[in-house]
Amino acid sequence: MGKTIIVSNRLPVSLRHKNGKFEFKPSAGGLATGLGSIYKEGENIWIGWPGNDVADAEQRAEIIIELHELKMAPVFLTSRDIEQFYEGFSNETLWPAFHYFTQYINYDESHWEAYVRVNEKFCEAILKKADPDDTIWVHDYQLLLLPQMLRDRLPNATIAFFQHIPFPSYEIMRMLPWRKEILSGMCGADLIGFHTYDDMRHFLSAVGRILGLSNESGYIQSENRLINVDSFPMGIDYNKFAKSAKSKKTKDVVKKFKELLGNQKLLLSIDRLDYSKGIPQRIKAFDDFLSKNPEYHEKVSMIMIVVPSRAGVKSYIELKEEIDTLVGRINSDYSTLNWVPIHYFYRSFPFEELSAFYSMSDIALVTPLRDGMNLVCKEFVASKSENNGVLILSEMAGASKELQDAILVNPNNLAGVSDAIKQALTLEKKEQNARIKSMQDTIQRYDVFQWVKVFMDRLDHVKKRQYDLQSK
Which residues here bind ligand G6P, judged by CB under 6 A? 10, 140, 164-165, 309-310
What is the Cα–Cα distance from 342 to 61, expressed in whole angstroms? 47
Nearer to ligand G6P, 3 or 195 (CB): 195
User: In the complex with ligand G6P, which residue's Cβ is closer, 3 or 10?
Assistant: 10
Shortest Å distance, C-beta 165 to ligand G6P? 5
Please say which residue, 164 or 209, places its beta carbon nearer to ligand G6P: 164
CB of 142 to ligand G6P, least distance (A): 6
**Tally of residues, the chain:** 472
Name which of 35 and 407 has its Cβ closer to ligand G6P: 35
Q: How far is the CB of 349 from ligand G6P (least distance, A)?
A: 16
* Nearest-5° Cα angle at 377, 100 to 99: 5
Q: How far is the CB of 450 from ligand G6P (least distance, A)?
A: 20
Burial degree of 456 (CB within 10 A; 0-12, 13-18, 19+): middle
- Shortest distance, position 192 Cβ to ligand G6P, whole Å: 16
> CB of residue 342 vs ligand G6P: minimum separation in angstroms?
24
Whole-number Å distance between alpha carbons of 167 and 115 = 18
Q: Which residue is nearest to ligand G6P (CB)?
A: 164
- Cβ atoms of 424 and 363 within 8 Å: the answer is yes
For the chain, first and last CA: distance in Å?
Answer: 23
For residues 286 and 5, give the distance between their C-alpha atoms in angstroms, rounded to a whole number: 45
Contact predicate 105/175, CB 8 Å: yes
Report the residue number, 87 or 405, with the smaller CB distance to ligand G6P. Answer: 87
The smaller minimum CB distance to ligand G6P, of residues 125 and 363, is found at: 125
Residues with Cβ within 8 Å of residue 27, at least 6 apart in sequence: 10, 11, 12, 13, 14
Q: In what order do the strands lie in the sheet with 407-409?
A: 342-345, 300-307, 265-272, 363-366, 390-394, 407-409
